[in-house]
Every structure is written in structure tokens, then in C-alpha cells.
Structure 1
């Protein structure tokens, strides 16, 4: 987001995103001009935080000190939304990837207990994202069953990543529409949508570095039809285009939402996100 600061702040004519999302790991402990710039943004706009390193499904104990830092960061910037990945990223050292959790009942119970512990420290519900995967080690449940079980047991919320649903449907031969229909709609806090690498038609890689493709836009529309409109974040982590091109994709989200005609209004509960 830093490379877009000046343009977003100075151009009052932009049809700007309603919300932004940042990774707290990139900002915790940062001082100086960058910290001041971020505070200027969080004072003016609504933000969500999307974590990268909690490793909620990992075998190492939860990093309590890190969770306290996240809590303080959220409180300082008055951010209520904190999401993380339903995966693990740490086996004693950081793996720098989102590794798949074995989809078993025992694993669901284990993850749920860790979510409850994290929520007690954070002082707010954790929001877990369904992740894209390229293997399903020792799976005894479907992904939809596993995600739903973790949410039920931990009383957390869901960040439903529509692109990840599509990616997994291709990688594992699952039914993307059935997955969406199986999710507990009342627990879906917000959505993600993004582009992916589709060079191999049988193996898609979730990159956040490409334009959203037509089947994913169509799945987003189906998601709204199924669970209702939710705040929707456009993720773009690299190959970031010019700001007007990026905002055109954000506007496409708005167009799909408006098309549904199911009570969408531009409020804090039903708005669009663009990546930050």
C-alpha cells in the first residue's frame, strides 16, 4: 500500500475503496514516517487486519507475546477485524508458506482449542480463512466439513476466500458451488477475491498477482446469491497495476453486489475492500 499512499491521499476525485486490509506483521513495531502515514490512513478509513504467521494449525505452542502485540496494534488503530489462515506456517521456525492441516476430527478439535486460546488473548473473535492447497495429507473429512467443524467448535468467524474455493475445486476435483453452500452463512464475516496462476489447467497456484478471471467472478456472484452480500476484499500482492486499473476491479465488485438487489447499501457492514 505504501507506494499508493500519495495518490490515494491526494486525489479526492478517486472512487476509493471503502476498506483497506493490511498484515499486522508488516507494521507492528514500525516507527517514524511509515507509522505516521499508517495512522493517518487508519484515522480516516476503515481497516481490516489479515495475519500471516499465527500458525493456528501448527504443532508449536501459540506465540503469546505476538498475540498480545497484535491485540495492542488492533486497539491502537481501532481495528476490530483480525483474520488468519486455517493452516500452519511454523514448525519451530517459519516455513514462509501456508501448509495444509490434515483434515481429521482430531485436528479440528486441536485447532479449535488453539483458536479459543487466541481469542481470549485478542479479546475479539478470530476470523479464519479457507486456504488454497496442493495436497490433502491424511484427510478423513472433506474441506467443507473440516472448516465448518473448526468454526462450530471454536465459535470463531469465517473469511471466505472465493478464489481459494475455485483453486481447490480444480486442484482436488471438488465442487466449488457445493463448498459455498456448505459454509455457515451466519459466520461469514467477509470475503476475499483474487487472481491466480493458471498456466497448468490441472494445477492452479494462488498468487494474488493476476487479474481475477471470469469463473471466479461468477463464483463470487453465486456466493452473494447463496449467503448474501458481504464485504469483499480484492487482493493484489504483486504485479500491481496502475491505481485506476486496480480500482476498476474494485468497482466490478460493486457492480456485482448492486446486481444482486438484495438490500446492499454502502454501510460499514456491507462495503467493498481493496488490498493494501
Structure 2
């Protein structure tokens, strides 16, 4: 089961020793990419096992290629399943994209927004879930081109979620990045997502290459419009577990701590608003 709320941080290998000694109070859960840990044994695996035994973990995959042209790599999915079971991790998410086709592409490529692709992806999601014997959660991704587009990104995403009957990892920064790059209203996209489909949130920073071209990097501080969009997500869909992604240009702990505390503050404010609404409702 996924926590109703809480604040998480992506765990990097260089953080292991520090986190094994003492987890900062600002972190309620960690997220890891299983591909970054499966190949390693020895001390790294022992330290990871120590942490997963003590704290809540989510897994966010990189290589499933749910929309790719090649058949699902069943051996790989079974590796993921064994890893999840080994560390008692119940939450596994992946990108609504693909990263392979006659070899690994080393990037997340956009799935054509077509009805045919919806059927294709939904069937592959069900196949993966049958192997894992647990849900697969799909994340909305940033994209920079839409080849063969027949429907909007929003309609495509909603159709996949409905047909696959799966949950969504709502990446708030990706909504903002795509809204700037493709000229739509981020607030409208956010409003159209069914609250019951949202499992948890991601938030991150990005790079502004041009006024109308943002690059999702996870390598910068979260900017004010993205913070406001997260606050709006809490108001519209409720407070849910939220992960801060920082993969490059890792800042000092004080900087990370400030952003984690910003999420805590937004969750506190949203919970306070919800409590006030409940108190104002007349008794039946």
C-alpha cells in the first residue's frame, strides 16, 4: 500500500553510509531505480538491505520500455520482481514511454499518441502486472516531439490509465515543462486527472534552454511555478506521498533540506485547509 502522504528523496549510492548512520527527519521514504542496484552485491547490498528493513522504499524503474517495439523482457521483469520481494517494496512505477528498439536508446522516447498505441501499452501493462503480481504505476513524462500524434497527450494518458486500469505517478514538473514546450495550460491538465488514479507525486527542477523550451533535468532547484502547481495538486487531488528528484548537480544537504521542508509545508497547509472544510460541513 502507498502512504497517503509523506516526503521522499531519491537515494543515491553516495548517500548510503550517511543514511545508514542516521536518516534525516525530513525524509519519510526513499525511492530507488532497481536497475541501479540489482547488479551490485557485497557492502552496497548489505547497506541497502539495512535501509529497506528500517524505512519505506518506492521503486521507480528506468528500463522497462513499456511502449517499446520489442517484446517485454520477461527475464528482466522477473529480476525486478525478485528485487521488490527481497526488499519488501510494494510500490513500483515506470515511465509512460520507451527506451529500447533494436538496442537500448539511453533516453525516454515519446510513445505515439494514437488509439493503437493505447491498446498496445495497456496490454503490456497487464502482462507486466501478471508477472510482478503487484500493480505497475505509470508516470507522465516530458517529451519534445510527438511523432504520429492523433490525440492529445492528456487524452492519451487518460486512455492508457483507464484501459490498463492502473495508477499514475503524477510528475508535477513534467506537466509544467510540457505545458511550456507544447503550449497548453498546466492547470487544465492537472484538473483532468482523476484523483483516484494518482498514486503519488514527483517534483523536480529543470533547465530553461529557451523561453519556450524547457529541459527536464532533475538537476536544478524547483521553481516557483512548479511549487504552485504542486500546491494546486494537493488542493484538487489531496495530499499524497511526494518525492523530490535531484539526480545531477547535487547541492548541499541544507539546500535539499530546504526543498524537502517546502514540500512538508505545502502538505501541512493543504491538510489544514481540508480539515477546515470538514469542520465547516453541517452535521447530518
Q: Deviations over 1:108-152 (max 9, x none)?
A: 011000000000001011000000000111211111111111011
Question: Which of 170, 179, 185 is the matching residue for 1:175?
Answer: 185
1:224 equivalenced with 2:240 (yes/no)? no
1:68-123 CA-partner distances (Å, limit 9, x unpaired): 00001000100000000000100021001010011011110110000000000010
Q: What is the Cα deviation at residue 11 of structure 1?
A: 4.1
Count of paired positions: 264
Unaligned runs of 5+ in 2: 1-11, 276-284
Partner of 1:249: 259
| Counterpart-to-counterpart distance in 2, 1:22 and 1:147 | 24
| Partner of residue 147, structure 2 | 137
Task: Output the TM-score relative to the length of structure 2.
Answer: 0.90
Could you tell me how far 1:21 is from its partner in structure 2?
A: 0.4
User: Which aligned pairs between 1:31-180 and structure 2 lie closer than 5 A?
Assistant: 31-180=41-190
Q: CA deviation at 1:184?
A: 1.7
**3-state SS of paired residue (1:222):** helix
Larger displacement relative to structure 2 (29-38 or 188-197): 29-38
Secondary structure in 1 aligned to 2:88? Answer: coil
Runs (5+) with no aligned partner, structure 1: 266-276
Matches of 2:18 and 2:257 in 1, distance apart? 12
Q: Output the CA distance in 2 between the equivalents of 1:47 and 1:243.
A: 20
Q: Which moved more, 1:79-88 or 1:179-188?
A: 179-188
Alignment of 1:237-276 (within 5 A): 237-261=247-271
CA shift for structure 1 position 30: 1.6
Structure 1 residue 201: deviation in Å? 1.4
Kept in 2, the 8 Å contact 1:15–1:247? The answer is no
Deviation at 1:262, TM superposition (A): 5.2
C-alpha change, 1:264 and 1:53, in structure 2 (3 Å) is farther
User: Structure 1: how far apart are the matches of 2:108 and 2:184?
Assistant: 20
Shift, 1:259, TM fit: 0.8
Q: Which runs of 4+ in 1 moved over 4 A?
A: 262-265
RMSD: 1.4
- Report the alpha carbon displacement of residue 187 of structure 1 after superposing the two structures with TM: 1.1
Superposed displacement of residue 222, structure 1? 0.6
The answer to whether the Cα contact below 8 Å between 2:239 and 2:271 also exists between their aligned partners in 1 is: no
Per-residue deviation at 1:242?
1.4
Whole-Å Cα distance in 2 between the matches of residues 126 and 169 of structure 1? 26
